[in-house]
Structure formats: structure tokens, C-alpha cells
């Protein structure tokens, strides 16, 4: 602890003691004066110690206000010792042993206000002054020595207090050091907490501002999404009419219904027809996506047999795969009916099988169906194509996203097939997920809920087909 801190503490203690002792001296002087002059009851010498106490407090505090604290403290201690001795010898015929014990308190004050050395000095001064006063009033005689024995206990206790003050000074200093350090740490902690509170309030205001901005941005995004949905829906409807005309007229012209066409013209018309169908699929995907995002997509549920749908889709896909790719179906005879929309289930299978055909140049593509549990049927599309990297597992289910391998193979599309398929599966109450080893193929799984009205036929044979293809149709 710094000396200045200890001195400030001593000054505060000094102010309190001077106030209390001064009040005591004033009250004592007032009572003495009342009894002497009003009640005509004379107390010999009582005015002297009481006046001395009051004067000592005023005089010592005067030095304290001048900045001479140490001198004022010595005057305060010395004056109190003299006042106590005056109390002790109010009666010339008898020493007052009871008042002598006040010297112990004065010595303790000296150790508290100044230092242990001052306590020892005060004890020595009190003993010498007491003995000197006793001999001055009683003379040097055997009777005086005998009477001094009554003062031995309080004087010995006074010297003991000085010794205790000296011995305990280190402990007192350590205690004060701990108290001051604790106070300093508490103040520092309070400042830190106050700063943290200010930072938290500032962060809270920033968070509220950011939250308000996010709400505004969300509202703007929702409005923009609504505009986008309206635009896509309107554009899709507007494009479907001319696309249908292009597809139908190209088909009619290719069939020689309005005059003969050459083989080259028929090839051009076939390309126009295929390109129109492809563009119509893209428009339909955009329209489906817009309906899903706007919450307007409706699923017409009914009990469905998956085997006929699977066969129809596999026949459609057969024209898209290489001659080095084998198509297989693995559908058990007791597969239960599912609760779903036939058009959307067919669209899911077409999207997943088209992707498998696009990225599989050799090997096989297998369509498996099996009952997963008492609630769902699981459909799996297994291929031996290029596979998908682990980091692309989530990205391929986002709208308009393509992998780098798709760009490298120049087999890019709109990036809507997988996201739409996933949303259709979820609208049915199922899930769609992916398993893949890069370079070794992929497996897409999805589940559909089993119909409550499903009836399993035991007479139907298991459907196992191997389809070999000898040509590739390029659009």
C-alpha cells in the first residue's frame, strides 16, 4: 500500500476522533459550568481537564487544516494524555485509578493515527508524566510509593498497548494493504463492467438496427420474389403457346402432310421439333419452380402402382443412353401402392434417370424399388457414371447450380431438375438424398408414403428387365 493511501486513511480517522472527543469535551465542560455557576455545586478542577480536551481538539484540528497533519496528531495525543492525568489527580488526597485506564485508549489512538513508534513514545510520556505528577503532588516518601501501586495496573496496561501496537503494525499494514488492493480491484472491476455494459448497449443498438434492416431486406426480398414469380409465371404461359405451335407445325411438316420434304429438310424439322420440346421442358420447369416458391403447387394424391410408371419412364429413357449402358429394373412383386401424384412421380423419375443417363457413358443404370418400412417405399436410381464430389452434395440441389464436371463434359442444363424433384418429393412427405463416390457412380434415393388403401397382389411376378441399346439419340 502506498504511504499516501495510509496517510489519507489516518487523516479520515483523525477527523472522526477529533470530532467525537471534541464533542465529549464540550459536553463535559458545559456540565461542569452548569453545576458550578447555576447549581452552585463546585467540582474542584473538573473544568481544567474538560477545557483541556476541548482546546486540544480545536488546536490540533487547526494544524490539520493547515496541512500539518503529523504535528496536529502529536498535539492531539499529548493533550489527551495531559487531560487524562488531570482527571487522575482531581482529588489531591487520592489517585483516580479508574481514569488511568483511559491512557490505554490514548496510546492505541497514537498507534492508529501516527505509527507504532508514536504509540511507544505516548506510553513513555504518559508513564513519566503520571509518576512525575504523583511525586509532585505527594512528595517523595514511602507513603507516596505505596499509593503509586494502585496506578501500576493501568500504567502496565498502557505500556502493553504500546507493545501490542508495535508488534501488530505489520499485520495491520498487511490488512490495510489487502483492503486497499481489494477496493482498487473492485473499482477496476466496476469500471470494466461499466465499459462492458456500454459495449453491450452499443452492440444491442447495432443489433436492433441490423435486425430492422434485415426485416426491411426480407420484406424487399419477398416482394422481389413475388415479382419474380409473377414474371416467370406470366413469361412461361406466354412462351408455351408459340412453343407448342413450333413443335406441332414442325411435326406436321416432317410427316409430309403439306407436301413432300427432302431428307435434309426433314432433319432440320426434327432438330426444330427436339429443340422445341427441350425448350418446353425448361419452360415447364420454370413454371413448376415458380408455383412451388409461391405455394401454389398442388399435389393430387391417389393410390399409385409404381411398376407401370417405372416401365413407362424406362422406355422413355432408353433412347437417351449409350449402347454401352445397360438399363435394369428391380421391383418386387409385393411392392405396395404409394399415395402420390402420378404426373409428379413420373417427373421425378424422369429427372433422376435423365441425369443418370447424361453422365453415364458405360456400365449400368438400375432403378430399384423396395418397401423401406411400414410407412414408406424407397426408390433408388443407381448409376456407374462420373460420380459427384462430396463438396457438391448440397450445391446440386440448389436452383440453377451445375458442377464443374458438368461444364467440363459440356452437358450442362438449367440446374432445375434436381431442385424441383427434391421439392416434389418433400411435397409428398418424403425425402430425397444422395450417395456417391467420385469417379465410381452415384445413387439417388427418395421415399414416398405408402397408401392406406394399398392392396398387395401375390399373383404378380417380380419385374426384372435387362434392356440393351444399340444406338444413342443426340438432341
Q: What is the pLDDT of residue 469?
A: 34
Residue spans per domain, the chain:
3-167, 194-294, 302-467
State residue 248 phi and psi, 5-degree precision: -70, -45
292 three-state secondary structure: helix
Q: Which of 34-48, 114-128, 376-390 has the highest mean pLDDT?
A: 376-390
Residue that wins the pLDDT comparison between 413 and 32: 32
Whether residue 473 is predicted with pLDDT greater than 70 in this model: the reply is no
Tell me which architecture the domain covering 194-294 has in CATH.
Orthogonal Bundle (1.10)
Whether residue 338 is predicted with pLDDT greater than 90 in this model: the reply is yes
* Sign, CA torsion 319/320/324/328: negative
Reference 122, options 86, 76, 87; nearest CA is: 76
Euclidean distance between CA atoms 154 and 144, whole angstroms: 17
pLDDT digits (tens, 9 = 90+) for 172-183: 556 666 776 777
Instruction: Answer whether 0.75 is exceeded by the pTM.
Output: no
Domain 194-294 identical in fold to domain 302-467: no
pLDDT digits (tens, 9 = 90+) for 187-244: 888 888 988 999 999 999 999 989 999 888 888 877 776 776 666 666 666 777 787 8
pLDDT digits (tens, 9 = 90+) for 308-333: 999 989 988 887 787 889 999 999 98
pLDDT digits (tens, 9 = 90+) for 7-56: 777 788 788 888 888 887 777 777 777 666 554 545 555 667 778 888 88
Q: Which of 50-54, 86-90, 178-182, 278-282 has the highest mean pLDDT?
A: 50-54
Q: Does domain 302-467 have CATH number 3.30.565.10?
A: yes
Average pLDDT over residues 441-456: 84
Contacts of 289 (CB under 8 A, 6+ apart): 232, 399, 416, 419, 420, 423
Whether residue 409 is predicted with pLDDT greater than 70 in this model: the reply is no
Which contacts of 230-236 are long-range, i.e. CB under 8 A and separated by 24 or more positions? 232/286, 232/287, 232/289, 232/290, 233/287, 233/290, 233/291, 233/294, 235/286, 236/283, 236/284, 236/286, 236/287, 236/290
Amino acid at each position: 500500500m502506498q504511504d499516501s493511501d495510509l496517510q489519507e486513511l489516518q487523516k479520515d480517522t483523525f477527523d472522526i476522533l477529533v470530532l467525537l472527543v471534541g464533542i465529549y469535551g464540550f459536553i463535559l465542560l458545559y456540565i461542569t459550568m452548569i453545576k458550578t455557576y447555576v447549581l452552585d455545586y463546585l467540582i474542584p478542577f473538573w473544568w481544567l481537564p474538560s477545557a483541556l480536551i476541548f482546546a486540544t481538539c480545536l488546536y490540533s484540528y487547526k494544524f490539520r487544516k493547515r496541512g500539518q497533519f503529523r504535528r496536529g496528531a502529536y498535539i492531539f495525543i499529548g493533550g489527551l494524555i495531559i487531560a487524562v492525568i488531570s482527571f487522575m489527580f482531581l482529588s489531591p488526597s487520592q489517585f483516580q485509578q479508574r481514569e488511568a485506564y483511559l491512557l490505554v485508549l490514548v496510546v492505541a489512538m497514537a498507534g492508529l493515527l501516527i505509527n507504532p513508534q508514536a504509540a511507544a513514545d505516548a506510553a513513555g510520556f504518559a508513564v513519566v508524566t503520571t509518576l512525575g505528577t504523583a511525586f509532585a503532588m505527594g512528595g517523595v516518601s514511602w507513603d507516596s510509593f505505596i499509593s503509586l501501586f494502585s496506578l501500576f495496573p493501568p500504567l502496565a496496561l498502557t505500556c502493553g498497548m504500546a507493545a501490542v501496537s508495535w508488534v501488530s503494525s505489520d499485520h495491520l499494514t498487511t490488512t490495510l494493504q489487502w483492503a486497499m488492493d481489494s477496493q482498487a480491484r473492485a473499482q477496476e472491476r466496476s469500471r470494466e463492467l461499466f465499459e462492458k455494459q456500454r459495449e453491450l448497449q452499443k452492440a444491442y443498438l447495432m443489433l436492433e438496427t441490423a435486425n430492422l434492416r434485415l426485416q426491411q431486406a426480407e420484406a424487399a426480398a419477398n416482394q422481389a420474389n413475388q415479382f419474380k414469380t409473377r414474371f416467370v409465371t406470366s413469361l412461361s404461359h406466354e412462351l408455351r403457346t408459340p412453343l407448342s405451335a413450333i413443335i406441332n407445325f414442325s411435326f406436321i411438316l416432317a410427316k409430309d402432310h403439306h407436301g413432300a420434304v427432302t431428307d435434309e429438310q426433314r432433319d432440320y424439322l426434327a432438330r426444330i421439333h427436339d429443340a422445341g420440346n427441350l425448350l418446353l421442358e425448361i419452360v415447364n420447369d420454370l413454371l413448376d419452380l415458380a408455383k412451388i416458391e409461391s405455394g401454389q403447387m398442388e399435389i393430387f394424391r391417389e393410390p399409385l402402382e409404381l411398376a407401370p410408371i417405372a416401365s413407362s419412364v424406362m422406355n422413355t429413357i432408353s433412347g437417351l443412353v449409350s449402347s454401352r449402358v445397360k438399363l435394369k429394373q428391380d421391383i418386387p412383386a409385393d411392392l405396395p401402392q404409394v399415395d402420390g401424384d402420378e404426373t409428379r412421380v413420373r417427373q421425378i423419375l424422369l429427372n433422376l434417370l435423365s441425369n443418370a443417363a447424361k453422365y453415364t457413358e458405360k456400365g449400368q443404370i438400375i432403378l430399384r424399388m423396395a418397401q423401406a418400412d411400414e410407412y414408406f417405399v424407397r426408390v433408388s436410381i443407381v448409376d456407374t457414371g462420373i460420380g459427384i464430389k462430396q463438396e457438391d452434395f448440397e450445391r446440386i440441389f440448389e436452383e440453377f447450380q451445375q458442377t464443374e464436371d458438368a461444364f467440363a463434359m459440356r452437358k450442362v442444363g438449367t440446374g432445375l431438375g434436381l431442385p424441383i424433384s427434391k421439392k416434389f418429393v418433400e411435397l409428398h412427405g418424403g425425402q430425397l438424398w444422395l450417395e456417391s463416390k467420385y469417379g465410381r457412380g452415384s445413387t439417388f434415393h427418395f421415399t414416398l408414403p405408402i397408401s392406406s388403401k394399398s392392396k398387395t397382389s401375390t399373383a404378380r411376378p417380380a419385374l426384372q428387365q435387362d434392356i440393351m441399346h444399340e444406338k444413342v439419340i443426340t438432341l
